Amino acid sequence: MIKTANRIATVEEYYFSRKLAEVRSLDTGDVRVINLGIGSPDQAPSANAIEALIASARNPANHGYQNYKGIPVFRKAIADFYKNTYQTSLDAESMILPLMGSKEGIMHISMAFVNEGEEVLIPNPGYPTYSSVANLLGAKLRPYDLREDLNWGIDIEALKRSDLSKVKLMWINFPHMPTGRTASRKELKQLVDLARENQFLIVNDNPYSLILNDDPVSLLSIEGADEVALELNSLSKSHNMAGWRLGWVAGKREFIDAVLKVKSNMDSGMFLGLQHAAVEALNNNGSEWFANLNGIYAERKDVAHELLDLLGCSYSTKQSGLFVWAKAPDHITDVETWIDEILYGTKVFITPGFIFGEAGRRFIRISLCSTAEKLREALIRIRDFETSRKEKRDVHKVMNAK
């Protein structure tokens, strides 16, 4: 019998990979499932980006292997984007490495810097892939809490009091997924100082900074970050290009060169047409593009709040990113079971918060990647479901009374 490698024994199939297959199985011709779970933008990229892809793909010379570091004009577009968006200067030649989506960067960075047995600081709640990759590498997970009583801020003082001598890498993610929390420059400076004092790498996963956020910040703009920090970013959320797999990692040359050693042994360069489209999106999707995008998300967010009010959840109205994070009402004893009851009773899928860590066990997350009309339909379905359940409970009480 051929056995699998020990490294995958502690890693489960990604929750959405498994759960969405279950969700799709509930689809029928009469009633389709409304998926409010995953954050896959439903709107199209800009027309100019699509046209750039088409034009490039029509050129027979553009279909060969490409440079592992991406074309210079793509890296320059990223550098210009950082200058215009975050007021942060990056050297396009040495400080930027394009990636096939920023998710692969989590693996590449971890492989480049983390040895077996070294500790990785993982946010709780947080993106599950940080933990999965650390497990695959045989690293030791050190969860750190984003505390509800601190408005989902990091308890930096608790980290300072702890033993960080074996920490090699710290993942942060602001604006934070799933809570929608942004971080102040003061908080980011404290985290950078902590990394410098303890000599570990700090990586900010930053794909949501332009979604419902008036003050986008890059970790690399913080004093001292150039010594200890990398930042992941992408076009997936901000430019509606999730399936195009266009991302990058940025930071000082030595760090980028280390990541390139891993990346160049695991894949080839990105299709040239995609790079041309990315350049067009980065250079020409301006303030009007983002104002329109965020206007749509703001409308959807209002409907999501109505749905959460119906469910009796509590939430902050000041959340950035593509989701709304909310606490289940006190009478719900098992959030996962409750969410499944809603799914099978209404064919509306909402993400249970436990998948983001123990700190999310009492929470749920609603994606804003469905139209306002779909969200309203979900609201109606859930309202009808809750009304029907109440009527059944009332009838049961009457029957018992007799």
In a domain, 1, yes or no: no
Q: What is the pLDDT of residues 235-274, one digit of tens each?
A: 999 999 999 999 999 999 999 999 999 999 998 889 999 9
Q: How far apart are CA 83 and CA 93, in angstroms?
A: 15
The reply to whether 203 and 221 lie within a common domain is: yes
The reply to whether 226 and 315 lie within a common domain is: no
Determine the pLDDT at residue 40: 93
Partners of 153 in beta bridges: 147
DSSP 324: E
Retrieve residue 32's tokens: 């389709």
Give the domain range for residue 250. 47-285
Mean pLDDT for the chain overall: 94
State how many domains the chain has.
2
The reply to whether 196 and 168 lie within a common domain is: yes
Q: Where is the domain boundary, 268, 285, 302?
A: 285
The reply to whether 379 and 240 lie within a common domain is: no
pLDDT higher than threshold 80 for residue 401: no
Percent of the residues in the chain that have a pLDDT greater than 70, as a whole number: 97
Q: What is the pLDDT of residues 25-42, one digit of tens each?
A: 888 878 899 999 989 999
Q: What is the pLDDT of residues 137-194, one digit of tens each?
A: 999 999 999 999 999 999 999 999 999 999 999 999 999 999 999 999 999 999 999 9
Contact 357, 126 (CB under 8 A): yes
What is the DSSP annotation of 102-126? Answer: HHHHHHHHHHHH--TT-EEEEEES-
Closest Cα partner for 78 from 223, 251, 253?
251
Average pLDDT for residues 106-132, to the nearest whole number? Answer: 97
pTM: 0.93
